[in-house]
Amino acid sequence: MATIRICNVEGCQRKHVSHGLCQMHYNATPAARATRVRYRATPAGKASKARYKATPAGRAAQARHRAAAKERAKGLPETPQAPTLALNAQ
Ligand SMILES: [Zn+2]
């Protein structure tokens, strides 16, 4: 009887893909991120990214990323360097 291997991450029941992990958890590893960054720097990767951005899902993802960045910017102090500069001035 064939067995189906599942992800090694505790509580994750997804199907195993690589290095003991499911696709979602493997994609989050530094090795997978580096591979993605290298691919996106190639002409094929840039074209792929452009095609995705032109889809409704891609536009929605961009809107979410922009909104999240705006929220992060709101949470930051106005001048984060100011206290350090003041301390250095003494
Ligand atoms: Zn997993």
* Domain annotation covers residue 88: no
* Domain annotation covers residue 41: yes
pLDDT (tens digit per residue) in 17-58: 999 999 999 999 999 999 999 999 999 999 999 999 999 999
* Domain annotation covers residue 40: yes
Number of domains observed in the structure of the chain? 1
pTM tops 0.85, yes or no: no
Q: How far is the CA of 31 from the centre of ligand 1 (A)?
A: 16
CA distances from 82 to 64, 78, 86 (A): 30, 9, 6
* Domain annotation covers residue 46: yes
Give the environment of ion ligand 1: residues with CB less than 5 A.
7, 9, 12, 14, 22, 25
Tally of residues, the chain: 90
* Domain annotation covers residue 90: no
Extract the tokens encoding 23. 């696709």
pLDDT (tens digit per residue) in 1-22: 788 999 999 999 999 999 999 9
| Nearest in space to 85 (alpha carbons), one of 73, 77, 75 | 77
The span from the CA of 7 to the CA of 61, in Å, is 27
* Domain annotation covers residue 7: yes
